[in-house]
Each structure stands twice: as C-alpha cells, then as structure tokens.
C-alpha cells in the first residue's frame, strides 16, 4: 500500500468514527461517544506519521504534490464538517440536559415550598410533657 493510500485509509477510519460518534450523540450513548473520541485521538498520531511518510515518498519520487494536496484538502474539509456537526449536536444535547436539570431543580424547590406550607408541622418535645 502506498503512503497516499495508507493516509486516505486513515482518513476513512476517522470518517467512520465521526459517523459512529454522531449516532452515539443522537442516542445519548456517551460510552460510545467516548470510545469514538478516544479512537480518533489515537488515530491522530498515525495520521501525522502517514502524512510525513507521504511527503518523504513524494520527495523521493520528485512528483507533483498539487493533486495529492488538493485531494487531502477535500477530505480534511469533509472531516472538519463532520466534526462541526458533532460539536453542534453535543451543544444541543447539553442545552437540553441543562434545561431538564433546571426544570428538575425548579420542581424540587416547588415541592419543598408546598411541603412547608401544607405539610405536617413538626412536633417538638415541649408539646408532649407530662
């Protein structure tokens, strides 16, 4: 496998992980989201190494890099868009969770107020003397 093919196969792995991450976000499967993010983090070093290998291969062959660089820019642009979509999905999920938390906090506060207003008064020891 050429260095170019290897690099593009790594980019394809990144794309698949980003799609799986997106599905995990939609389902609220945070273990899957974490797994995908960890896998992409590990993939970064391999992509850097593959990029360096591609540069070395192309330098040795004295070939025109423009076509490869253009293809890389296209793929990376698509990957960046997937990352942006995932980021937006995460922000939406976070806003939804924050709203639910605020609703829960408000309900708890209201229940405490109702309990104070209508609940049984606490009996002190002084009311029951002999």
Distance of alpha carbon 53 from alpha carbon 61, whole angstroms: 12
Q: Is residue 20 part of a domain?
A: yes
> What tokens appear for 119 in the block?
């609940």
Domain that holds residue 54: 3-94
Q: Is residue 126 part of a domain?
A: no
Distance of alpha carbon 95 from alpha carbon 45, whole angstroms: 32
Q: Residue 79 in contact with residue 11, Cβ under 8 Å?
A: yes
pLDDT, one tens digit per residue, over 37-85 is 999 999 999 999 999 999 998 887 777 788 899 999 999 999 999 999 9
Q: Is residue 113 part of a domain?
A: no
Between helices 3-27 and 66-118, what is the axis angle to 10°? 20
What pLDDT band is residue 104 in, cutting at 50, 70 and 90? Answer: confident
Distance of alpha carbon 90 from alpha carbon 83, whole angstroms: 10
Phi, psi for 107 (deg, rounded to 5)? -65, -40
Average pLDDT over residues 110-122: 81
Q: Is residue 60 part of a domain?
A: yes
Distance of alpha carbon 65 from alpha carbon 63, whole angstroms: 6
- The string of DSSP letters for 14-40 reads HHHHHHHHHHHHHHT-HHHHHHHHHHH
Domain count of the chain? 1
The predicted structure's pLDDT at residue 15: 98
Q: Is residue 53 part of a domain?
A: yes
Q: Is residue 87 part of a domain?
A: yes
Q: Is residue 88 part of a domain?
A: yes
Q: Is residue 49 part of a domain?
A: yes
């Amino acid at each position: 496998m050429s260095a170019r093919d290897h690099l593009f196969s790594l980019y394809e792995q990144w794309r698949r992980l980003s799609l799986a991450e997106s599905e995990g976000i939609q389902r609220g499967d945070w273990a899957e989201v974490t797994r995908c993010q960890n896998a992409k983090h590990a993939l970064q070093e391999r992509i850097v190494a593959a990029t360096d290998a591609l540069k070395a291969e192309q330098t040795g062959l004295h070939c025109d890099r423009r076509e490869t660089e253009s293809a890389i820019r296209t793929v990376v642009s698509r990957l960046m868009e997937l990352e942006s979509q995932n980021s937006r999905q995460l922000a939406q999920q976070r806003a939804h969770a924050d709203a639910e938390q605020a609703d829960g906090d408000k309900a708890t506060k209201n229940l405490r107020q109702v309990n104070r207003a209508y609940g049984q008064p606490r009996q002190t020891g002084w009311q029951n003397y002999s």
